[in-house]
Amino acid sequence: MSDLRPATAGPIGDDVRSDCHVAYEPGDEALKLEIASKVDYLFSEAIEAAIRRVANGLGVTTGRLEVVDRGALEWVLMARAETCLRSAGAHGSAALPVEHPNCHTPRVRERLRRSRLYLPGNRPKLMLSAGLYGADGLILDLEDSVTPADKDAARILVRNALISLDWGASERMVRVNQGDAGLEDLRRIAHHNPHVVLLPKVEDPLQVRRAADFLRETVGDRAPFLMPILESPLGIHRAYEIAAADDLVVALTLGLEDLSAEVGAPRTEAGWESFTARQTTVYAARAAGVQPIASVFSDISDEAALARYVQRERGLGFDGVGCIHPRQIPAVHAEMSPTEAEAEKAIRIVRASRDAERRGLGAVAVGSKMVDPPVVKQAFRTVELAVAGGVLDTDWDDESA
Amino acid sequence: MSVQLDRNAAGRMVPTKVNGRESVPFAGVGGHRPSGRKAAPAIASCIDYPDDGDKRVGSIAEALEKVGLADGMVVSSHHHLRNGDAVANLVFDAAADLGRRDLMWFPSASFPVHANQIPHLDNGVIHHIEGSMNGPLGAYCSAGKMRGLGVLRSHGGRWQAIQDGEVHIDVAVIAAPTADAFGNATGDRGPAGCGLLGFALADSVYAEKVIVVTDNLVPFPCLPWQIQGNNVDVVVEIDSIGDPAKIVSGTTKITQSPDRRRIAELAARFCAEAGIMKPGFSFQAGAGGTTLAFALYLRDLMRSAGVTSRFARGGSNKYMVEMLEEGLIEHILDGQTFDLDAVQSIRENPRHVNTSPFTSYNFHGKGNFASMVDVAVLGATEVDLEFNGNVVTHSDGRLLHGIGGWQNCLTARCSMLLVPSFRDRIPVIVNEVTTLCGPGELIDVVVTERGIAINPRRQDLLDAVAGSDLPINTIHDLKAELDQICGVPQKVPKSDQPIAVVKWVDGTIIDTVWRVG
């Protein structure tokens, strides 16, 4: 392996936690590991075995590997070691970490997407408990939160997270980069059951089709769903074409930070500068039969403003919003839930609809008023949201049996 | 040096002799009851003290000479100035200047600022420490560098040891934020105001000689007097007894850690769902990040349920004070004040009351407050499958924390440990705790970010939350989940050299701390 070069991966320093640093030095001697770990008294053997599995997989048998571990879990250690050795020039298929029991949970097209929590793709510490917070979706981000130099490290880390991390009941989402970097992201994660891939700054339906075709070629009918993000005036302008570009699209969202910058109108709490963009996104998504999802709310300390924001976006027709801190999630779910009065009205419509179906009637009536099919469909959704948000008990339907 | 060991009732090997004294192995909860007469200092007579009440001398060294500090004596200090304390360091610096040797330091707790004592341990001024050892002192002791054995006691256990004569204090030095020349002293005002002086109360009554050191001398009478001048031999005025910024914090901030907040919220919801949070209930919450957040979640639940608490036990802070002022808490029975709002409150609000380990924790008291509290929330470094808790050592065996009031609070009607399930890769739920500090029979609930485990001995609590949507798990399930996340840890070898012992609240030895490295 004399063609390898020196390389390093992962952060180093006293304040690093749940992560590790790996350095490789080529040499002719048999591969030597030097491991300094704050958890060596508990895991020295496991750490050495994991690092060796990665090195063997990549065919690295000589040189010196130095690991400075600050309590990284095994899948993190393995990701850092793989990043280091690949950057040293090693090729081949690295050993993968142990699968989490839930890593094969299948994706579901129709599901609640009220909240999605963004997590930086190269920060393992923030991922470890993310599955506990009840977000409808977790997004491991390979784009804006990862520096260009760290893209490859993040791809490997996110792949390992798709295999080993406990995602709880959250939808498994990844935001990829734009352009060719984005295709490389897809190539690296597609086999590991991402449920939804977020495509940034989409301005052309071809971008969606390109990703969709690539995913179908790579993993066939296990291809993840897509959520295009509109972040430019052009993207908004072509919102419907983008939403309808491919069957894999399940939701359409927008990024107000970039959009505001491009429009030249700073983002305000009132949001008038983006009103048309937001409403256009809702209309385009509904027209294409996919979910409209609102932008993130980035002031984590202002809970009242978050509540107002969610109410407003829900009022525009959005089905969910983006979060950047777990504490936003309960507030988002509460505000995305229907009121009790709305829920009760929806129950009356749902029951009337079932009643009409049972009796073979074409039209649904509540009292003396006829109810149109879109209203019936919306009532079913309202009931589902009310149950998810705790407004209705899960057994609300028992008495109708 | 070979040490005679004996297996105690918890199955732990403990020394039969500690620093030359015979010791009693832990005999089970409630299994030991010292007898005899309480210890007492020699009789003093007022005619030996100045009629005008002015007991001042010019310096700490002069004070130590005046009270007759001799080689081998026991010198006590207290931790109400926390990491801002200057006095304990000045005392041993002065003792060193006087050429004294082999002193035993008996602090109610030590802080990183007390790394100052390490040279005094090295050069023989201090023989050993009986009190909590954290940070640099913990590392020093863990490495086996101290001549005697460390003895770790709870706040209540310290009182017990003083009262039943296990430790006889020769010289107590009390840092006083405000005092008069007679020795009356208070902590609730002055530039180094810390709230209260309860940790020094036993020393003021039972020590042979008592020195009060202040940087805020007021004309007699110093009111209120938390320490009575009638117990004091000598008063010393110095420029500064400590760094106010490190004594209390200006503002107490709530943790932003989502895991800690989740743990706190689950614990508060548990109290509500289990029916603990009922009208007139009582609780104890400390100032750690998680327990502080617990109080805030509890506050919200109390508000929406219209429930008030008859009393809360501190450590108090701004948020407890707000609950007191809002009427959600009727009384705070306080052991420590952690921020400026709490210091002001204890000074001005008659419903915010000064307590001590005597009222709350003392094994030789005729009852104490801790066992009357409905729920106490505490931290831990480890908890095992039998619900045993460790609060003094890291899982590699290094001394990390003192016991504080932790053991004493376990007697609450419901004691809850609020802990992350793992820190970095280090599991907090383990097969067997590294150091046993609290027997599992007294630990009722373990709350982690991954779920709540209820001690199977508490069927009443299990029944109370059955059917709730709280994530109730068995401790075995939580452990299995950790094995999946962290991997199964190797067994950590222990050395055979004791460096400290952990006392149970009754004075028996519940476990040994072994040398590391």
Q: Which residues pair with B393 in a beta bridge?
A: B399
pLDDT digits over A240-288, tens only? 999 999 999 999 999 999 999 999 999 888 899 999 999 999 999 999 9
By three-state DSSP, how is residue A262 classified? Answer: helix
Nearest to B487 among A43, A166, A326 (CB): A43
> Residue B426 and residue A71: Cβ atoms within 8 Å?
yes
pLDDT digits over B50-62, tens only? 999 999 999 999 9
Cα nearest neighbour of A129 on chain B: B259
Nearest to B395 among A42, A132, A326 (CB): A42
Decide which of A25 and B252 is more confident. Answer: A25
Cα B22 from Cα B12, distance rounded (Å): 17
Closest C-alpha to B3, from B12, B13, B139? B13
pLDDT digits over B180-230, tens only? 999 999 999 999 999 999 999 999 999 999 999 999 999 999 999 999 999
The enclosing H or E element of A322 equals strand A320-323
Q: Which residues of B touch A327 (CB under 8 A)?
A: 258, 261
What pLDDT is recorded for position A392?
Answer: 87
CB-based contact (8 Å) between B480 and chain A? Answer: no
What sections of B28-83 are H helices per DSSP?
60-66
The total of other beta-carbon atoms located within 10 Å of residue A208's CB is 22
Residue A268 to residues A23, A271, A304, A344, Cα–Cα distance (Å) = 46, 5, 15, 35
Compute the CA torsion angle B32, B33, B36, B37 (nearest 10 deg).
Answer: 120
Per domain, the residue ranges of chain A are 7-87, 115-336, 340-400
Q: Which residues pair with B386 in a beta bridge?
A: none
Query: How close A41 comes to chain B (CA, Å)?
Result: 6
> Residue B490 and residue A72: Cβ atoms within 8 Å?
no
Q: Which residues of B touch A17 (CB under 8 A)?
A: 424
What pLDDT is recorded for position A374?
Answer: 84
pLDDT digits over A241-254, tens only? 999 999 999 999 99
Cα A9 from Cα A20, distance rounded (Å): 8
Residue B187 to residues A64, B79, B85, B222, B225, Cα–Cα distance (Å) = 59, 12, 13, 11, 9
- Please say if the pLDDT value at position A2 is more than 60: no
pLDDT digits over B483-517, tens only? 999 999 999 988 999 999 999 999 999 999 999 97
pLDDT digits over A58-89, tens only? 999 999 999 999 999 999 999 999 999 999 99
pLDDT digits over B368-413, tens only? 999 999 999 999 999 999 999 999 999 999 998 899 999 999 999 9
First to last CA, chain B: 18
At B133, phi and psi to the nearest 5? Answer: -130, 115
- Please say if the pLDDT value at position B254 is more than 90: no
Query: How close A73 comes to chain B (CA, Å)?
Result: 6
Look up residue B392 and give its amino acid. Answer: V
Q: Which domains does chain B have, with CATH numbers?
A: 55-130+167-247 (3.40.1080.10), 258-492 (3.40.1080.10)
Annotation: CATH topology of A7-87: Ribosomal Protein S5; domain 2 (3.30.230)
Beta strands in B208-308 (DSSP E): 209-214, 234-237, 281-285
> What is the homologous superfamily of the domain A115-336 according to CATH?
Phosphoenolpyruvate-binding domains (3.20.20.60)
Q: Which residues of A touch B486 (CB under 8 A)?
A: 43, 73
- Please say if the pLDDT value at position A395 is more than 50: yes
- Please say if the pLDDT value at position A401 is more than 50: no
What pLDDT is recorded for position A366?
Answer: 84
> Residue B450 and residue A41: Cβ atoms within 8 Å?
no
The mean predicted confidence, pLDDT, of chain A is: 94
Mean pLDDT of A184-188: 97
Mean pLDDT of B124-153: 95
The residue whose two tokens read 């990024």 is A255
Cα nearest neighbour of A166 on chain B: B485
At A13, the pLDDT band (50, 70, 90 cuts) reads very high
Cα A344 from Cα A346, distance rounded (Å): 5
Query: How close B396 comes to chain A (CA, Å)?
Result: 7
Nearest to B425 among A45, A72, A101 (CB): A72
Query: How close A43 comes to chain B (CA, Å)?
Result: 6
- Please say if the pLDDT value at position B295 is more than 90: yes
Nearest to B424 among A70, A100, A129 (CB): A70
Mean pLDDT of A114-128: 97
Closest C-alpha to B153, from B204, B195, B89, B199? B199
Q: Are B133 and B402 in contact (CB under 8 A)?
A: yes
- Please say if the pLDDT value at position A1 is more than 50: no
What pLDDT is recorded for position A391?
Answer: 85
> For the packed helices B289-305 and B318-326, what is the interaxial angle rounded to 10 degrees?
10
Q: Are B98 and B128 in contact (CB under 8 A)?
A: no
Mean pLDDT of A168-183: 97
pLDDT digits over A48-63, tens only? 999 999 999 999 999 9
Cα nearest neighbour of A393 on chain B: B469
Percentage of chain B lying above the pLDDT 70 cut: 99
What pLDDT is recorded for position A360?
Answer: 83
The mean predicted confidence, pLDDT, of chain B is: 95
Closest C-alpha to B378, from B353, B431, B414? B414
| Token reading at B286 | 């400390």
> Count of CB contacts below 8 A, A vs B?
60
Cα A24 from Cα A3, distance rounded (Å): 13
What pLDDT is recorded for position B1?
Answer: 52
Decide which of B322 and B292 is more confident. Answer: B322
Record the pTM.
Answer: 0.93
String of DSSP letters for B77-129 = E--TTGGGB-HHHHHHHHHHHTT--SEEEEES---GGGGGHHHHHHTTSEEEE
Least confident of A229-238, B63-72, B314-323, B467-476: B314-323
Mean pLDDT of A225-232: 98
Compute the CA torsion angle B325, B326, B328, B334 (nearest 10 deg).
Answer: -20
